[in-house]
Amino acid sequence: MSPRSASLNAEMRERSRAEILAAALRVFAQRGYEASSLTAITTEAGVSHGLAHYYFATKRDLLTEVLRGRLGAVIELVAQLPDDPDKALAILIDAFLGSAAAEPDEQSLTLALMIQPGVREVYATLEAHNDGIMQATEDRLRAIFAARGAEDPALEEIVFRTILEGVIFKYCVYRGSYPLAAVRRRLYAMWDLSEPPPDDLADPARGSEDEWRLRAWPGDGQP
């Protein structure tokens, strides 16, 4: 058998690293960051402790990389937004809702992780280390609302992100009944955007509009 090529070895290393990070997210979310251990994470990932330690010296390093991936995705998305403020806003809505629809389990785990004690401090440190990039990202978002004539672009940006995060939370909890496509259309209307193009964010197929509105609230039985 011929030895593996350098490119194949690099691909396998990257795959192992990704599996460890995915396992860390699951373990942190399910057990809590403080109660998790590297042993539990390596068991979940199906890799040796030595391999995990090769990539990540400590549990905090693992958490930092998990959070860095989430933060980096947002930064990259905002950096690539077009100059047209309406198109940029529509892209943001579709990107966040589309991500929730495509990866509801990962989104749920991330939400569970973000509210845990100790995680916010690590995230704040990560933000501080990327202060210039974070400021540019925030400024870009506020510039979108300024270009659209918002009276207070900073406040509008906060409200926008808060609403999107709330929608994602509700969808992750009640994904079997939450009317994501209808909410998408409503978000477009809230910010005076054109009718959204067709998408695959399917609304619940069962029941009437009144029924799915009720199912989108806590205490509505099975999600």
Q: What is the pTM of this model?
A: 0.77
* CA separation for the pair 70, 87 (Å, rounded): 23
Alpha helices in the chain (DSSP H): 6-31, 38-45, 49-55, 59-79, 85-102, 104-114, 119-129, 131-147, 153-173, 180-190, 209-215
Q: State the Cα–Cα distance between residues 138 and 95, nearest whole angstrom.
A: 17
Which CATH number applies to 64-215: 1.10.760, 1.10.357, 1.10.150, 1.10.10? 1.10.357
Q: In the prediction, which pLDDT does 200 show?
A: 62
Per-residue pLDDT of the chain (223 residues; tens, 9 = 90+): 455 677 766 777 788 888 999 898 888 888 888 888 989 999 999 988 888 888 898 888 988 888 888 888 889 999 999 999 999 999 999 999 998 898 888 888 888 888 887 888 887 888 888 888 889 999 999 999 999 999 999 999 999 999 999 999 999 889 888 999 999 999 999 999 988 887 666 555 444 444 444 444 444 444 3
H or E element that contains 116: none
Residue 108 is predicted with a pLDDT of 85
Residue type, 127: E
Please tell me if the domain spanning 6-57 has the same topology as the one spanning 64-215. no
Residue spans per domain, the chain: 6-57, 64-215
DSSP state of 145: H
Cβ neighbourhood burial of 213 (10 Å; 0-12, 13-18, 19+): middle
Report the distance separating Cα 72 and Cα 103, nearest Å: 17
What is the per-residue pLDDT for 9?
65
Q: How far apart are CA 42 and CA 44, in angstroms?
A: 5
Q: For residue 221, what pLDDT is reported?
A: 41
Q: Does domain 6-57 have CATH number 1.10.10.60?
A: yes
pLDDT reported for residue 176: 81
Q: Is 82 helix (H, G, I), strand (E, B) or coil?
A: coil
The single-letter code of the amino acid at 136 is A
**Alpha-carbon span 179 to 171, nearest angstrom:** 8
